[in-house]
A = this chain, B = another copy of it.
Amino acid sequence: MPGINEVARLAGVSTATVSRALSGNGHVAQETKERVLAAALELEYVVSSNASSLATGRMKNVGVVIPFLNRWYYGAVIEGAESALLSHGYDLTLYNLAGGGGERTSVFEHFLLRKRVDAVIAIALELTEGEVGRLHDLAKPMVVVGGSIDGVRTLSIDDIGVARLATDHLISLGHRAIAHIGGNRASEMDFHVPSKRRVGYEQALTAAGIPIDTALFQAADFTLQGGYAAAKQLLGDPRSRPTAVFVASDEMAIGTILAARDLGLTVPDDISVIGVDDHELSEFFGLSTIAQFPALQGRMAVDIVMDQLHPGHRDLALTNTPLPYELIVRSSTARPTSRKST
């Protein structure tokens, strides 16, 4: 484990010069720099990030806080963020709030305060007031992806718009009896995206002059199983069965497709279904959906954070760009068959 001293000695310069040569801060004669680089290489020198951090106050590390890990959306955002961070030379330390135990409080009361991260990215996280306060106390760059925290830079798609687009797609195909599977109480706790999607759905119906029928709403927990159960409920009664369903997430939408099959219904002949996300399995199931691009969202979050950390790059163009989303029509949506279209 050679230190900066050995490198300096080997290169025949002072440690200050080594530091400058290696970090790129300050000017060093080309020739000297090469000598230093060679020496560093030969000794396999790597700076001690601790010593460096202690001296500069920069950690080269950002914390990512998530409510749980094993859901496609979170994984995808993290992958995007991770690779973007790597490319900037940053580490990503993960704080998973799942586990129900003291995890949540210890993360906020203890871990995030340790001065280990330069910034924090929170993913689809609904926080208590106290937690928000803690985060503000950090006085560090912070961005929220897919959720919202008062007074914090937020990166999220227009959930109302997304829902309206999905619903409009169904309406434009000729559907009128359009159901909605959305979030339940529990899922609201961590991100109140569900209610926005419901609002969008209702707006679209209203705009089309279709009355809102609360019997056509079912709550679920954003899992495939939850979607399945909700769909069974919704589609089970032949007398009240809708011709289409807008489901608030692809995982639930896949559950819906499965439920339809188990009920002997054909998608899309008997029932059209559209989701949100463009989950990795959606193509496989032929699911029409509104794609959002979580990996991109992760990358954008990193861009914003980097921009705050190193003003100067100023790609601030993206600062208020709305996040993209896109209608993807596959085989799960079609015109209602004549026998059912009213």
Contact = CB atoms under 8 A, between A and B. Distances in A.
B284 A61 contact: no
Most interface-central of A94, A110, A224, A281 (chain B CB within 10 A): A94
A70 interface: yes
Contact of A114 (B49, B102, B110): B49
A69 B79 contact: yes
Contacts of A89: 110
Contact of A53 (B50, B92, B281): B50
A26 to B, nearest CB: 22
Nearest to A61: B93
Contact of A281 (B98, B106, B224): B224
Interface of A: 46-51, 53-54, 59, 61, 68-70, 72, 75-76, 78-79, 82-83, 86-87, 89, 91-94, 96, 98-99, 101-103, 106-107, 110-111, 113-116, 224-225, 228, 261, 280-281, 284
A94 B94 CA distance: 7
B96 A93 contact: no
B61 A83 contact: no
A224 B284 contact: yes
Contacts of A82: 69, 94, 96
Contacts of A51: 54
Contact of A54 (B48, B75, B103): B48
Contact of A70 (B79, B83, B106): B79
Contact of A86 (B54, B68, B106): B106
Q: Report the 3 A-B pairs with minimum CB-CB distance, sorted nearest first.
A: A70-B75, A83-B99, A93-B93
Contacts of A47: 114
Contacts of A228: 284
A281 to B, nearest CB: 6
A247 to B, nearest CB: 17
A69 B78 contact: yes
A70 B77 CA distance: 10
20 contacts: A46-B110, A47-B114, A49-B115, A51-B54, A68-B79, A69-B75, A69-B82, A70-B79, A82-B94, A82-B96, A83-B99, A86-B107, A87-B102, A89-B110, A91-B93, A91-B114, A92-B93, A93-B93, A93-B94, A261-B261
A46 B98 contact: no
A2 to B, nearest CB: 12
Most interface-central of A47, A78, A96, A224 (chain B CB within 10 A): A96
B69 A114 contact: no
A38 to B, nearest CB: 17
A94 B95 CA distance: 10
Most interface-central of A70, A75, A224 (chain B CB within 10 A): A70
Contact of A50 (B91, B93, B115): B115
